[in-house]
Amino acid sequence: MKLRNRLPKDGREQGVLVTLLSTVCFGLAPIFGKLAYRAAVTPFTLAALRTVIAAALLWAFYLVFWPQAIPIRWQNLLGCIGMGVTNGVGSLFYYTGLARLDASLAQLLWTFYPIWVFVFLSAAGHPISRLALLRLALALLGIYPLTYAGARPTDWLGIMLILSASACYGWHLVLGQWTLADLDSRTVTLYALSAMAAVVTIARVAVQMPWTPISLQGWTAILLLALIPTALARLLVFAGLRRLGGVQTSLLGVAELLVALLLAYLLLDERLSLWQWIGGGLLVASVLLIGRESSLEVSWDELLRDGRWRKLK
């Protein structure tokens, strides 16, 4: 039986609503990131400070308003740590790549993560259909026009960093499905973000870069990034993920591309070339075709029941 048919209608509608709200929050990430870079904040400093501040805000909020969501069993804690480590590494890739690319191009490449979700779920036992091969072909065809830079040299390192970040985020969503099967989404958010903060802090210390003073503009961008795309967006996306699953959540996440492109145009004065619009169109078409893949609608209750997920954890 399909998962969407097992959920109450109001549960699905709430899942769609909170997921769409999370996409608006996530769409602000490259904009705030670019504003921080204009204030001379380095990528590793940005990734570390925004995550640590977000985790600290969540702990303070939970201690006052949601103390019942803090207790966790060690088995579930391991799942949250896995999510946090994956997402933490991905955030280092993302913000390093963002420093090398326009925010609009970075967000277009980031939108590959639903393709990665499909790949990882296929590895969990979903069959690969002809439609799946068509989607992958469209996505691959979209890479070249997306990365076309005209007269400017193509920054392949920045491109690979963003694609690696999208792969990490896709795997993080799949891990989130498994972890949320046994745990409150608020608890998952708290501990996954805390593990993520530990990873990026260790990385920031390891690079041994000197700490330089940050301007008011830089702190403003960091605080906004911590509050909205980091803390609030994760609370919303995990709540939606629990109701919808990884495939539908990642599909709705494509809406964050529209938010990022619009704000990059209005606030950063960025423009995409015709070739990049063509590449972006192929990518979006590939992602949206995932919604027609009936084999991906297998209930995660069934996967939990037959034990397949435990073989992959």
Q: What is the pLDDT of residues 280-289, one digit of tens each?
A: 777 777 666 6
- Return the axis-axis angle of helices 103-110 and 274-288, rounded to nearest 10°: 30
Residue 120, classed as helix, strand or coil, is helix
Please give the pLDDT value at position 222.
Answer: 97
CA 113 to each of CA 90, 110, 162, 254: distance values in angstroms, whole numbers, following the listed order = 11, 6, 10, 9
Dihedral-angle region of residue 208 (phi above 0 means left; psi in -120 to 50 means alpha; beta otherwise): left
Task: Indicate the range of 38-52, 65-79, 124-138 predicted with least confidence.
Answer: 124-138
Give the up-direction half-sphere exposure of residue 34: CA atoms within 13 A in the CB hemisphere. 21
Sequential DSSP letters for 247-283: HHHHHHTTHHHHHHHHHHHHHS-----HHHHHHHHHH
Please give the pLDDT value at position 1.
Answer: 33
Backbone φ and ψ for 121, nearest 5 degrees, come out as: -70, -35
Task: State pLDDT tens for residues 269-312.
Answer: 887 777 777 877 777 776 666 555 544 444 344 444 444 444 44
Instruction: Output the six-digit token pair for 80.
Output: 């949250």
Confidence at 244, pLDDT banded by 50, 70, 90: low
Identity of the residue numbered 69: A
CB 26 within 8 A of CB 238: no
Residue 312, classed as helix, strand or coil, is helix
CB 28 within 8 A of CB 224: yes
Confidence at 12, pLDDT banded by 50, 70, 90: low
Task: Give the Cα separation of 311 and 313 in Å (integer).
Answer: 6
- Compute the Cα dihedral for 244, 249, 255, 260 and give only its sign: positive
Please give the pLDDT value at position 183.
Answer: 84
Task: Indicate the range of 26-35, 62-71, 120-129 predicted with least confidence.
Answer: 120-129
Q: What is the mean pLDDT of the chain?
A: 80
Average pLDDT score over residue span 138-143: 70
- Asked if the model's pLDDT at residue 200 lies above 90, the reply is yes
CB 1 within 8 A of CB 299: yes
Residue/partner pairs of 122-131 with CB below 8 Å, 24 or more apart: 123/312, 124/174, 124/303, 124/308, 124/309, 124/312, 125/303, 125/308, 126/295, 126/296, 126/298, 127/295, 129/293, 129/295, 131/289, 131/292, 131/293
CA 37 to chain centre: 20
Residue 3, classed as helix, strand or coil, is helix
CB 76 within 8 A of CB 179: yes
